[in-house]
Structure 1
Amino acid sequence: MEEFISKMLVSDLIPIIFVMALGYFAGKANDFKSGDARILNKLVLDFALPAALFVSIVRADRSMLVENATLSIISLVGLVLLFMLSYFTIQWFFRRTKPEAAVCALIAGSPTIGFLGYAVLDPLYGTGVETGLVIAIVAIVVNAVTIPIGLYLLNAGGGAGADGAPKGNALLSAMKEPVVWVPILAVALVVIGIRVPDEVSPTFDLLAKANSSVAVFAAGLTLSAYAIELDWEVAYNTFFKLVFLPGVFLLAGWAGGLDDQILQMLVLSVALPPAFSGIIISSRFQVYTRTGTSSLAVSVLGFIVAAPTWVYLARLLGS
């Protein structure tokens, strides 16, 4: 277990913190203008992330989803219910508006699987089919279900566009976002049974490789514009993301009889820091930015303790 934790720190956590800190100090040193974070966020949200999601999702196939129906059902039901729980409770407890609650749910109620899934799980569990399966299923739910729901709620609640103008029809506006329709397209191809040739992957891979690094750097750059808040709301978001959400999945996966290693990977996947896509959407639409970035910063640091703890508990319960 000590070797496992050491590997996690060296391969996963330290690089994430280093790149985010690099973006943070670059912003503080005024190496980037105030609008540059939005440009980087747009690059990730409209191009790099959709490419990464498309490549990761189409690597799955219909039989994989059917054979692992329990994993798929737990991921779908669990993430959607907890997403909505975050959405409603932040309104009840902290009197947030519906657009703010939608962005909060995208942050506190969603793991950053599309950005860091492979970066975290591959060094620990290898690049086998099981690893790709867990990442693909969680990524499908987060990016083809909860992100569209979040964007719909953001627009339906009166959220403004990047230019401050009303977004019009909420569902139509959400479906226009590449981060929404690209993973839905990928899921449709998987369900229909259309296999995307492996030769196509390199076309998207070059752009997809920029996803994690640019997203983490942009998150640090965004964070540099705001003082980190340590209040009850940030504490609640951190608790919800790092403690409550993976705890629910640990019990659900154990009750569902998931394989020990798949259970570990699922719990670690949902325990990942808040979805960077939520921070990018927050920055792009200027909604819940200060508290959202603070929640991300605290959660990234908390993940250093949460990750090995949840892996240990998953191993203990699984055995």
Structure 2
Amino acid sequence: MMSHVILMALVPVFFVLLLGYAAGKFHIVDSLHVDALNALVMDFAVPAALFAATASASRREMIEQVPLFMVLGVTMLLLYAAWYFAARSFSRVSRPEASLQALTIGFPNLAGVGLPLLTSVVGPAGTVPVAVALATGSILISPLTLIMAEMGAAEGRGDEMTARQVLTAVGRAITKPVVLAPALGILFSLSDLSLDALAHASLALIGSSAAGVALFLTGAILSAQSFRLDWRIAGATVASNIVRPLLAVAVVHVIPIAPDTAKIAILIGAVPSGFFGILFAVNYRLDSATAGSMVIASTGVSIATMAIAIALLFPN
């Protein structure tokens, strides 16, 4: 029975991911298609799904997610800071590249893997925790990374980073649809307003494509990344696939949280590295190969680590 649950949770995820990878490798999907798919996923489908899920939750349900926000926020920030300072101290990479690596490790692939995984394991109720997790990472560590990238760009031009540029970087992070939608949905829920049935049905129609297309997009993005294995990639894989969920385990023992919510937080911590670091690296013309290798290795190893996490957290 347990093996059936794990197979039902993981096989569809990796099947669609491999479809996207094969489509990219055989040039069925090229860079223009990837850009279009990225816009569909990150600007429309995922934001619609997350807004519908969070806005439909009651105020009580949303308040119950506050401990999840705190646990994931502390987990992501601790791992982000640890990798950033380690990369700066031992690899001697620039601040922007260290922050991109830290973002890749600290912020799991929630849109591509977390959403379909949680909905498979815990049902439709898993969408709200994914939305909260996305909002957590997008509000806390994405702006830090964009600030570092903007600082690197300013140094490359021989300029000093101004307060206006810092605010611009933060603004870019928090106004992206994939960040803004769950945040607005959370505010909508906390205001104790109810989402109209027609509005929910309209958002759900485009949002229903989010999980599958996001997985396909992840595979297509990974197919374009060159893979290299060195101590940094190995260390990043251990950090994202083993240290992150174990860190979440430690944090849930410090922050008061319901047992069921704690299990979800730990499972979210077991989701492999996300591809935001790759996208940011491409946008700022930084090293995307390292971030890409981290995501490829983390995603491959997660077949085993997520199966173990599911078996331990949801044995029944």
2-structure distance, mates of 1:282, 1:184: 25
Q: Quickly say closer, same or farther: Cα 1:206–1:277, change in 2 above 3 A.
A: farther
Q: Is contact 1:152-1:174 (8 Å) kept?
A: no
Decide which of 13, 16, 20 is 1:19's aligned counterpart.
16
1:109 counterpart letter in structure 2: G
2-structure distance, mates of 1:258, 1:212: 27
1:223-234 matched pairs, under 5 angstroms: 223-234=222-233
Could you tell me the percent identity over the aligned residues? 26
How many residue pairs align between the two structures? 306
1-structure distance, mates of 2:314, 2:181: 35
Cα shift at 1:298:
1.4
Deviations 1:110-135 (A, max 9, x none): 1222333342123323345xx45533
1:233-252 matched pairs, under 5 angstroms: 233-252=232-251
1:54-133 matched pairs, under 5 angstroms: 54-67=51-64, 69-128=66-125, 131-133=126-128
2-structure distance, mates of 1:53, 1:62: 16
2-structure distance, mates of 1:92, 1:60: 44
Cα shift at 1:315:
6.8
> Scaled by the length of structure 1, what TM-score is found?
0.81
Decide which of 148, 152, 163 is 1:157's aligned counterpart.
152
Matched, 1:32 2:24: no
Worse-matched range after superposition: 101-110 or 80-89:
80-89
2-structure distance, mates of 1:74, 1:136: 14
Deviations 1:163-222 (A, max 9, x none): xxx995323333443233333323332333333334312222232233232232223222
Aligned-pair Cα RMSD in Å:
3.0
2:56 counterpart letter in structure 1: R
1:40 counterpart letter in structure 2: L
2:152 counterpart letter in structure 1: G
Q: Is contact 2:6-2:311 (8 Å) kept?
A: no
1:138 counterpart letter in structure 2: A
Q: Quickly say closer, same or farther: Cα 1:255–1:200, change in 2 above 3 A.
A: same
Secondary structure at 2:28 match in 1:
coil
Q: Is contact 1:65-1:72 (8 Å) kept?
A: no
Q: Is contact 2:13-2:116 (8 Å) kept?
A: no
1-structure distance, mates of 2:277, 2:50: 15
Deviations 1:222-280 (A, max 9, x none): 22233311111111211111111110111222444544433222211111111244444
Indicate the residue corresponding to 2:177 in structure 1: 178
Indicate the residue corresponding to 1:4 in structure 2: 2
Indicate the residue corresponding to 2:158 in structure 1: none
Worse-matched range after superposition: 97-106 or 306-315:
306-315
Indicate the residue corresponding to 1:141 in structure 2: 136
Cα shift at 1:77:
2.5
2-structure distance, mates of 1:305, 1:139: 23
1:268-307 matched pairs, under 5 angstroms: 268-307=267-306
> Scaled by the length of structure 2, what TM-score is found?
0.82
1:6 counterpart letter in structure 2: H
2-structure distance, mates of 1:304, 1:266: 18
Secondary structure at 1:202 match in 2:
helix
1-structure distance, mates of 2:213, 2:255: 37
Matched, 1:197 2:196: yes
